[in-house]
């Protein structure tokens, strides 16, 4: 499903795909920006070198989040549906 495009996601009313990454050393900038622009969000380990490098980058910061934010973000999405 990582190659899902915006059309497929829209057809099934999927707004975002969340990836919980325990190993992110092979996660390229290209993959983050390409998939991020298609509605993918990457949750990376809080102490991750990749998280530090991408969370302040203008083109990638909207697509990466620390793993510690996962539960808060999930609660927010659930509350929006209520």
77 or 80, which is more confident? 77
pLDDT tens-digit series, residues 28-60: 999 999 999 988 999 999 999 999 999 999 999
List the 17-21 sheet strands across, edge first.
Answer: 17-21, 40-44, 64-66
Please provide the average confidence, as pLDDT, over all residues in the chain: 90
Are 60 and 36 a contacting pair, CB within 8 Å?
Answer: yes
CB contact set of 46 (below 8 Å; sequence gap of 6+): 66, 67, 68
Predicted confidence (pLDDT) at residue 1 exceeds the cutoff of 70: no
pLDDT at 81 over 80: no
């Amino acid at each position: 499903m990582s190659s899902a495009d915006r059309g497929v996601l829209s057809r099934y009313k999927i707004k975002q795909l969340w990836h919980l990454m325990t190993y992110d050393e092979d996660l390229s900038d290209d993959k983050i920006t390409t998939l991020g622009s298609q509605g993918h969000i990457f949750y990376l380990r809080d102490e991750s070198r990749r998280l530090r490098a991408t969370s302040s980058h203008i083109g990638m910061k909207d697509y990466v989040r620390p793993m510690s934010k996962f539960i808060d973000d999930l609660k927010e999405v659930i509350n929006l549906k209520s």
